[in-house]
Amino acid sequence: MAKKKLLFGKDDIHDAVSSVAEKISEDYRGGELMMVCVLKGAFVFMSDLIRMIEGVDIHVDFVVLSSYGSATTTSGEVKVLKDLDSPIEGRNVLIVEDIVDTGITLKFFKDQLLRRKPKSVKICALLDKKERREVEIELDYVGLSMQDGFVVGYGIDCDENYRNLPEIWVIVED
Ligand code: IMP
Ligand code: MG
């Protein structure tokens, strides 16, 4: 077991998710919204978030994106391993992601979705590692911001471990 330190507790997370949900509810009130969860890391965030949104006609879909290796980092080549089940032409889409780090994954994915002529595409991220950004990407809704460090918990893993932790922890190197 790796050593870890608490970064965000249950209350911090709850407050962040509910404040994001409130903004989304305001922005899309009375309309429809296709929420696209980026698996696996965003599944806990997504499930809490959708239950806090009010007055919006919500549909959900799920994608799996490949993580890129160092060889493809510069080209920003990301693969869609599991695509959307539904068409998004003419619809409001909200990408729900766990963490935005370099921004390469979401820049690639947002560009892909824009080619399908949706009405709009916005991004909602639970965690923003702003200082680590390598490509420019606008985040429309952000839950929590953090500096450097590798986090786990609340759906986020390290080698598939720790997804079930209710809090967000930073792995401490020893
Ligand atoms: P980006 O393309 O560099 O923005 O990478 C974002 C993806 O890297 C996220 O969706 C996560 O899957 C993964 N990632 C980045 N930072 C962390 C972390 O601290 N813990 C776990 N996964 C992370
Ligand atoms: Mg991810």
The string of DSSP letters for the chain reads --EEEEEE-HHHHHHHHHHHHHHHHHHHTTSEEEEEEEETTTHHHHHHHHHH--SSEEEEEEEEEPPP-GGGTTTT---EEE--SS--TTSEEEEEEEEESSSHHHHHHHHHHHTT--SEEEEEEEEE-GGG--S----SEEEEE--SS-EEBTTB-BTTBSTT-SSEEEEE--
Residue 151 Cα, ligand 1 centroid: separation in angstroms? Answer: 9
Is the C-beta atom of 48 inside 6 A of ligand 1?
Answer: no
Pocket mutation for ligand 1, best pick of 36, 40, 99 (most atoms within 8 Å of C-beta):
99
Taking the whole predicted model, whether its pTM rises above 0.75 is answered as yes
How far apart are alpha carbons 5 and 81 in whole angstroms? 33
Neighbours of ion ligand 2 (CB under 5 A): 41
- Per-residue pLDDT tens digits for 136-162: 999 999 999 999 899 999 999 999 999
Query: Per-residue pLDDT tens for 54-94?
Result: 999 999 999 999 876 544 444 567 899 999 999 999 999 99
Q: What is the pLDDT at residue 76?
A: 60
The answer to whether residue 101 is catalytic is yes
Whether 11 shows a pLDDT value over 60: the answer reads yes
What number does the ligand 1 atom closest to the CA of 97 have? 10
pLDDT of residue 2: 84
Q: What is the pLDDT of residue 173?
A: 83
pLDDT at res. 102: 94
Q: Which position among 98, 101, 140, 157 bears the catalytic label?
A: 101
Specify which residues 156 forms β-bridges with: 153
Work out the average pLDDT over 88-103. Answer: 97
Average pLDDT, the chain: 94
